[in-house]
Structure 1
């Protein structure tokens, strides 16, 4: 019940931010690719409401089969300890899977070809959070780590972590960039930049979705915490927004982006490549 309440509040918050973006004109003229709305709608219908929940049930059954003696083994751990451990473990696993996906871009690895859907958008707003290949729900490590935490008896810590990850995705994908002004502030700017070594700001994640000046899709792999990027040398703290959002070159057809490798179709021109400056 608590987990449903957490997710319900985050979903409501995401809808409010999305409506605020739309009403303020931040979505005007950004959906230029053919099939963009169909990609988003089908991902919501098939991914978040069908495949995602089914995968969660399947992963829970896998943990039950692999670790039959460990059900509820950590149930007595206090929340003050369980929560940071679950968060750090989830972020560590996500960091590496996310990094491996991007490192496979040049050789077009299966992991990258599934993850690229999230990066081919030539804009940044809350809808990008929902813009995924349906098979990413199987690959994303959060589904595995959170199911494991729940199986081990850390359900409350897992529920809070899931809600925080979702909420922070809304913050970091939003087109509202409050952090730019803070980063440039004479007094608070240096303190904020220091904090960005630990916490993922909107700027850090926008950089991850861009290319050209202050764009670096090969950096900033964390969701909430940038501490693993800092530790492993992949952190980039930007000065502003990236020159372009999206992927240089050509994107796949929207149906392929929705369900690769099940569907494979021809490419279509990516408008983000126009005017790309050197990095």
Structure 2
């Protein structure tokens, strides 16, 4: 098996594993109440990321590299694995932290709103976003550049597996960190873990419908693989608790946005009276 095949096999096993925990624990049946609108958005976004956004970024960066800088092809191929991992973390995960954080600004919120409109947490919402959110994500294009420069093979494959495992696990309906918090001997370990990587407790807080309960923190906890970026840049909120509700208050008040408005804004714009998914619209503020 080559590196890509190993990566795909491990990712598939990981997804099936988390899916099994959601079903066996009955968390999926008891907490995931998705509509047909939710399913269409999540399915089409997942397929578009696999079939369009990611391949396009890899293809374009490879073509531009061969045209503009052919002498730099595979120039980093002899780097040690830790050097490759380090530059991936900086160019992919750190930039994704800032892209995610900027996506909570009024200008970019419509491209990320879909991820927060789910009124449940599950592995199925991991890639739920606007089509252009991923197409414009700097880390995706920088990863393509790094692959052209030689940061690939098994190092890149395992980086992808580790990152996706953390991200999918942070969205999982079964909260893997919850039983670990209850074991006194693991308290020092969990103190380190929750400050290093994204966990269900910290990421569920980011999806909370309110911040008024002291648990929710949708204005922070932006980390994807590494939560340490939130620690460094002052956006962390750690409680070891989980919000009572996730989703968006405006959807509760005015009804769900249609999946194609969420996925393809600004090409398609909402007809809802109060909406961020139309020109001149704005983010619904919690205190309104």
Match of residue 216 from structure 1: 217
| 8 Å contact from structure 1 (residues 118, 131) kept in 2 | yes
- Shift in Å at residue 54 of structure 1? 2.7
**Cα distance change on mapping 1:8 and 1:135 into 2, 3 Å:** farther
Match of residue 119 from structure 2: 122
- Shift in Å at residue 268 of structure 1? 8.9
With 29-38 and 246-255 compared, the bigger mean Cα shift is at 29-38
Q: Distance in 2 between matches of 1:32 and 1:197?
A: 31
Q: Distance in 1 between matches of 2:200 and 2:98?
A: 20
| 8 Å contact from structure 2 (residues 32, 121) kept in 1 | no
What is the aligned residue count? 268
- Give 1:246-261 correspondences, 5 Å limit: 246-250=247-251, 251-261=256-266
Q: Distance in 2 between matches of 1:14 and 1:142?
A: 22
Q: Distance in 2 between matches of 1:129 and 1:44?
A: 9
| 8 Å contact from structure 1 (residues 197, 227) kept in 2 | yes
TM-score (norm 1): 0.85
With 244-253 and 146-155 compared, the bigger mean Cα shift is at 244-253
- Shift in Å at residue 6 of structure 1? 0.8
Match of residue 274 from structure 1: none
Select which of 201, 204, 211 maps to 2:202: 204
Indicate the SS of the match to 1:27: helix
Match of residue 5 from structure 2: 4
Q: Distance in 2 between matches of 1:3 and 1:203?
A: 31
Q: Distance in 2 between matches of 1:163 and 1:65?
A: 31
State yes or no: 1:264 paired with 2:269.
yes
Match of residue 78 from structure 1: 80
Select which of 43, 46, 53 maps to 1:44: 46
**Cα distance change on mapping 1:245 and 1:169 into 2, 3 Å:** same
Deviations 1:143-197 (A, max 9, x none): 1221121111111332222222222222111111131232243332243123322
Select which of 138, 141, 144 maps to 1:141: 138
Which ranges in structure 2 are unaligned for 5 or more consecutive residues?
276-285
- Shift in Å at residue 55 of structure 1? 3.3
- Shift in Å at residue 32 of structure 1? 4.5
- Shift in Å at residue 101 of structure 1? 0.8
TM-score (norm 2): 0.82
Indicate the SS of the match to 2:103: helix
Taking only aligned residues, the RMSD between alpha carbons, in angstroms, comes to 2.6
Which ranges in structure 1 are unaligned for 5 or more consecutive residues?
271-276
Select which of 147, 150, 154 maps to 1:150: 147
Deviations 1:195-254 (A, max 9, x none): 322222221111111133311121111111112111111111123111321122135222
Match of residue 282 from structure 2: none
Deviations 1:14-69 (A, max 9, x none): 13322442354323363344512222222233332334323332233344445443
- Shift in Å at residue 257 of structure 1? 0.9
Indicate the SS of the match to 1:94: helix
**Cα distance change on mapping 1:42 and 1:82 into 2, 3 Å:** closer
Q: Distance in 1 between matches of 2:246 and 2:6?
A: 34
Q: Distance in 2 between matches of 1:254 and 1:154?
A: 36
With 61-70 and 177-186 compared, the bigger mean Cα shift is at 61-70
- Shift in Å at residue 76 of structure 1? 1.3
**Cα distance change on mapping 1:179 and 1:56 into 2, 3 Å:** same
Match of residue 180 from structure 2: 182
Indicate the SS of the match to 2:184: coil
